[in-house]
Structure 1
């Protein structure tokens, strides 16, 4: 994006220096100091003699020179994020209440095979729904849309983005009843309740690695000079939370529950 072909520059030497005031989202100095050397090295590899300046020294001197047309071509370089990742050869396992790991297998049609360790038919149906191959007739409106409107539970809202709903009284009551039922069962099961923020910074490399898998579905919030991502249904901050806790071996398996009141994921129209 920012490094052009050699013929475009029409110069023998290039000086790479940080002109940070053009950016709204500045990185920390440790990360920023790596940028100029990498660009200079890339230019050297292309046969262009290049040097880079120490970070920030342009503030301590004044220089006047003729501007080059390439230098005037403003670019807003965003966080480099790959398209949604499809993990190959992934392994999905189920852990039973006794602590046994059950590895799931699929047939030639990518349908899940029933493990002998799973006796609960409802749970097996859930696994098929989540992991099995599903054929959807795009010409037919899903049945739940008609139900949620007829019973006045929840509906689309024309004043917001696709995928965001407005809930009516009966829908709110049903949702809260389900929430209370699940929480009571999980507390009896020995789970601990936690709650994490709805937005987080991508300056944390561990979070950025997960975020990079779903760039097109992200909502961003700008706060001052910082940029935050509104979380989608995920446990991004959960791992960071427990990495800062003192956990003893006999705590495991650790049962954790978080009710995410709000999750954000951009959806397509239709």
Structure 2
């Protein structure tokens, strides 16, 4: 078979980059089917016909383009790398006691064993409590956030920005656009590696792709930077609004969505040794962030060849030291044109016993050259850096999902104090104590504590129940006794304990528990009665 461009049938030709990607894809498919194939820059026949048996009119079609892409099934090989450094085929590995979570990952990813049909996840009702839900007037897979949910997702963004800023190398915060032109060769090539899960927008004579991470913008920007070996290592970071056309049947609120907020960082390294060193730094941070939530990761290491593992065994053993379990290794077949050599997926096992990818880190050897990113080394020569891609806590949606999934088994579920939209609710016993209660709430707000005042004409019991179901961390009831003693009656949701403490003691306790986390006020009226019912 000879494949070459044939332009005579169309009055609306595709651009060269798109056309070449189609021709190359045709060549690849033909070769996979065992057909001897050649690709030529031009042809020598004057006739081209497409025939479909039983449908002769098909020959009259004027536009030929790439149809809907069907994901090809890639034959991967799976192994388990034990703590002792032994590589065992995944289907022959004998699981030990205490490796139940690891077994779930191996069965799901390597052995194709699916768990039983699960009911609706319990965390969904938790999210809806805070106004986090699907937007029905948009495309499938797009979320919306009410005032409380919006605060939560914003706080998670501030939190991950704080984590990134604490890394032992400079990280530059950047911003940019979310649309990129497919006529740009680097964009088209990178997009072709991602596959068909992309939103494409037509604008005048241009075909634009909505970014699915921060890669396009950061690489397009950093190619214009003048870099010296003295500048390395460094990171670039953005919480990128990203778009992925996930299959509708796989969408899951807060986990698998089509529009997401990706706290995407790229770490630029001079060479492999520096890349391995910084990879270990990111690996540690990813694990420690999940451990702060009381969870442990089970990890899947994707490789484009076993040779990379064998040549860098010491590096892999250092990675393995930080893992709780052995690691599942997935080796892609030769010739699959991915830009990374190593891609780690960090999974939790959720409340329903499913492996769910949250954090990720990749070692990229291709995109610096593809986008023209260079630096000048000690000898004055231009070189391409190695790029590490990472989402330290996953997307903001998935990190939020993890937090809510964490609470499913709790008797008294409540958000971490630093993340809770309302930390303290002040409840007067009657209207007689409303003004004094208001003063307490105002003073707490002045201390950067998110407090509000339930001034509604309801019973104290009803107000307390409402605060409990709203997951308010501390409920402060003020009446005659509290005013005379100067002590507040404080009910803590997490422990269900009722204590007497001074206002200063309450402030100190909250400040201690939220130390090191972002602090931010929420834009809500002080009085509960002034808010709509959202």
Please give the range of the TM-score, normalised by the shorter of the 2 chains: 0.5 to 0.7
- Contact 2:134/2:142 (CA < 8 Å) preserved in 1? yes
1:21 is matched with 11
- Which has the larger share of strand? 2
What's the offset of the Cα at 1:175? 0.9
1:197 is matched with 177
TM-score (norm 2): 0.31
In the alignment, does 2:197 pair up with 1:217?
A: yes
What's the offset of the Cα at 1:261? 2.9
Structure 1 residue runs without a partner (length 5+) = 4-15, 45-49, 53-68, 91-102, 112-127
TM-score (norm 1): 0.57
CA distance in 1, matches of 2:7, 2:134: 50
2:246 is matched with 266
In the alignment, does 2:77 pair up with 1:77?
A: no
2:127 is matched with 148
User: Which of the residues 150, 161, 166 maps onto 2:139?
Assistant: 161
Indicate the SS of the match to 1:21.
Answer: coil
Structure 2 residue runs without a partner (length 5+) = 24-38, 48-56, 79-84, 94-101, 109-113, 251-534
CA distance in 2, matches of 1:245, 1:214: 26
Of structures 1 and 2, the one scoring higher in RCO (CA 8 A, sep 6+) is 1
What's the offset of the Cα at 1:85? 7.6
Aligned length: 202
- Contact 1:196/1:237 (CA < 8 Å) preserved in 2? yes
Residues 8-157 of structure 1: matches in 2 within 5 Å?
Answer: 17-18=7-8, 20-23=10-13, 26-27=14-15, 38=40, 41=43, 50=45, 72-78=60-66, 83=71, 86=74, 88=76, 108=90, 134=108, 137-149=116-128, 151-157=129-135
Indicate the SS of the match to 1:74.
Answer: coil
Deviations 1:66-117 (A, max 9, x none): xxx7763223413896736859579xxxxxxxxxxxx9x8873699xxxxxx
What's the offset of the Cα at 1:259? 0.6
CA distance in 1, matches of 2:227, 2:126: 46
CA distance in 1, matches of 2:195, 2:137: 24
Deviations 1:115-146 (A, max 9, x none): xxxxxxxxxxxxx7xx8665655432233322
CA distance in 2, matches of 1:177, 1:40: 57
The structure with the largest alpha-carbon Rg is 2
1:115 is matched with none
CA distance in 2, matches of 1:39, 1:71: 24
RMSD: 4.4
- Contact 1:162/1:269 (CA < 8 Å) preserved in 2? no
CA distance in 1, matches of 2:116, 2:231: 46
Residues 234-245 of structure 1: matches in 2 within 5 Å?
Answer: 234-245=214-225
What's the offset of the Cα at 1:258? 0.9
What's the offset of the Cα at 1:257? 1.0
Indicate the SS of the match to 2:176.
Answer: coil
2:207 is matched with 227
1:94 is matched with none
Instruction: Say if 1:184 and 1:39 are closer, same or farther in 2 by CA, change over 3 A.
Output: closer
Indicate the SS of the match to 1:217.
Answer: coil
- Contact 1:83/1:212 (CA < 8 Å) preserved in 2? no
